[in-house]
Amino acid sequence: MVNGAPMLRIDNLTYRIGPRVLLEEVSASVNPGTRVGLVGRNGTGKTTLLRLISGDIGPESGSIEVPRRWSIGITRQEAPGGDKSLIETVLAFDAELTALMAESETAEDPTRIADIHTRLHDKDAYTAPSRAASILAGLGFDDEAQQEPCSSYSGGWRMRVALAGLLFMQPDLLLLDEPTNHLDLEATLWLEDYLKSYPGTILMVSHDRDLLNRAVNAIIHLENSKLTFYAGNFDRFEATRAMRLEQNEKLRAKQLARRAELEGFIARFRAKASKAKQAQSRIKMLERMPVVAEHHEEGSINFSFPEIDELAPPLYALDRVAIGYHGKPVLSEISLRLDNEDRIGILGANGNGKSTLVKLLAGRLEPLAGEVSRSGKLRIGYFAQHQTDELDMAATPILELSRRLVKASEQQVRSHLGRFGFTQQRSLTQVAKLSGGEKARLLFALMTIAKPHILLLDEPTNHLDMDSRQGLVEAINGFEGAVVIISHDPSVIEMTADRLWLVEGGRVSNFEGDLDDYRQRLLSGPEVQNDRSKRGAKGDDSERKDQRQRGAERRQSLTPLKKKVEQAAGAVTKLEGERAKLQTKLADPKLYGDAAKTVEVQRELGRVEKDLAAAEELWMKLESELEQAENAA
């Protein structure tokens, strides 16, 4: 509890589905204003925990306490519809505001009118339309789109409207389940910036590393049916967890050695009268010795793309190409080329033509004008989420693959599926019963059968958890051919692409800069972006140079504060190491033969824990200052 403030409390919570235990006697607490990332493998129970907190389902045992006055908002799977405009749909998410506005038009009692207007003032009702419009704009809807009926949009876009409505409500406790799944990179970057300054408490399930590094200040890790709380962002969590696991293994090794020593003494001297008393004391010592549990890492997922035969460059060349639908161009004047080992990340808001460009490269769309040349022996692997609809839901992975590898043996088919994490059991599971991540991995297995020279990946990480994403990144980086990737996960783009193409204003151009430059460009405001789009996709080289220089100066000005943050984090790490060493000493039965030494170690542990609390407080304060400085820059 902070300054007596109420908090979210989870106490000895257990929940199971049939015989499978998802959460077993877990406890955690979240202070108000904390932005928490809830992480863990797919299927471990993260979404279930959000539903337990929201009250959608009840626990088997234990309790969840949410402060009485807190409002709760949670992402839902149902997309809004109807003939209301997007702006009206978002405003309607706040049921109290809608009711008060309606009642204000008809109320006659002076006291009630005063109460209504007081409450409307408290809810900042008169700025509500502009706040709703701002959120919709951040999620990719311009002024014209906001006036369109909700029913005119596809399911993915309407899920964005649902997210906009949830953010507009601004609940005290915001529960987000994979909020970037239906977003493009541009909307993801906006959301990242928005959540950094959210005034309430956030508990967010996400596999987006950048979002978890930039928008949260704490992590709760769900693993082996247990919850562990970590201060800091995702990178900090990974470092701290790795250190704890290392210390745990060292402590466990020492304890096993000590147990073996005690058990050996007991076995040798238990029957001897002269040593019976000493043997009994060691038996009691063994019984009192705390057990250091062995850590069981949940199974990892590896990807492996097949080796290819290299072709003479260029693999692909476009000269003044136009592409579109029904004779109407979406993109024009495209002049690009792809060579072996190219790594291209495609930027641009949804609707600008990114997927259309990839469909052209995949041979799924014919050009309307211009010349396309490609190697005669070129083989292409194309991945898009909509391809899950093309899978036979009644088949199994091994059957789907066998249909395409007619001449392959069953062992060869199983071996290929194994490259993408399919065990024998999962390879015989009906496709309809596979998780979203497993279906995505099946698509990877299918698209690489022909040993493609180019991988065209359109949002390949949507249903992959953090470890699977890392496995995919490593496989892409180990692939010998060319890669073109669209992803809303900035870290995936940063780790796989060394060149960026920008799809904007009906053109495709090389983007001069990195994702930090692109992030700053997006957050610089619609006026600047509109001005750029009027000048054309190519832009102004001198302005881009000035922008990069300003970006470099901005990053340089933050260097001293970043150094302080690193030093503070280092101090925390050092003190955590000292605490672990002292805890190891206290776990050693030999210590308790010396009362004075025991007291000394306990006092030292108390001092270190006090220093650690102060160091963590300073580190979080500096992190907050850096965050504010980055927002202001």
Neighbouring residues of 417: CB distance < 8 A, sequence distance ≥ 6: 397, 398, 401, 427, 445
Beta bridge partners of 149: 85
pLDDT score, position 417:
87
The sign of the CA dihedral 127, 128, 133, 136 is positive
Reply yes or no on whether the pLDDT at 333 is more than 90.
Answer: yes
Pick among 3.40.50.720, 3.40.50.300, 3.40.30.10, 3.40.50.1000: CATH of 8-237? 3.40.50.300
| Domain boundaries, given as residue ranges, for the chain | 8-237, 316-539, 558-632
pLDDT score, position 519:
86
Reply yes or no on whether the pLDDT at 216 is more than 70.
Answer: yes
Neighbouring residues of 502: CB distance < 8 A, sequence distance ≥ 6: 347, 348, 508, 509, 510, 511, 537
Percent of the chain exceeding pLDDT 90 equals 35
486 or 238: whose pLDDT is higher? Answer: 486
Place of tokens 């839902």: 76
Mean pLDDT of the chain: 83
Query: Could you tell me the two tokens for 174?
Result: 């915001």
Asked if residue 576 lies in contact with residue 609, where contact means CB atoms within 8 angstroms, the answer is no
Place of tokens 């020593």: 261
Domain at 558-632: CATH code: 1.10.287.380
Reply yes or no on whether the pLDDT at 309 is more than 80.
Answer: yes
pLDDT score, position 522:
82
> Buried (b) or exposed (e) across 429-467, using 16+ Cβ within 10 A?
bebeebeebbbbbbbbbbbbbeebbbbbbbbbbbbbbbb
Q: How confident is the model at residue 541 (pLDDT cuts 50, 70, 90)?
A: very low
Asked if residue 395 lies in contact with residue 430, where contact means CB atoms within 8 angstroms, the answer is yes
CA distance 36 to 230: 9
Virtual torsion, Cα 446, 448, 449, 451, nearest 10 deg: 170
Classified as helix, coil or strand, 41 is coil
Was domain 316-539 assigned CATH 3.40.50.300?
yes
Reply yes or no on whether the pLDDT at 530 is more than 50.
Answer: no
Span of 233-247, 293-307, 393-407, 538-552 with lowest mean pLDDT:
538-552
Asked if residue 148 lies in contact with residue 175, where contact means CB atoms within 8 angstroms, the answer is no
Which phi and psi angles does 505 have, rounded to 5°? 60, 30
Beta bridge partners of 202: 35, 174
558 or 44: whose pLDDT is higher? Answer: 44
Span of 290-294, 299-303, 340-344 with lowest mean pLDDT:
290-294
Angstrom distances, CA of residue 261 to CA of 267, 276, 589: 10, 16, 12
Classified as helix, coil or strand, 313 is coil
Span of 19-33, 147-161, 233-247, 615-629 with lowest mean pLDDT:
615-629
Virtual torsion, Cα 108, 111, 114, 116, nearest 10 deg: -70
Domain 558-632 in the same topology as domain 8-237: no
Average pLDDT of the segment spanning 188-207 = 93
Which phi and psi angles does 419 have, rounded to 5°? -60, -25
Reply yes or no on whether the pLDDT at 546 is more than 60.
Answer: no
Closest CA to 611 of 563, 572, 554: 572
State the pTM of this model: 0.69
DSSP class per residue in 537-552: TT--HHHHHHHHHHHH
pLDDT score, position 190:
92
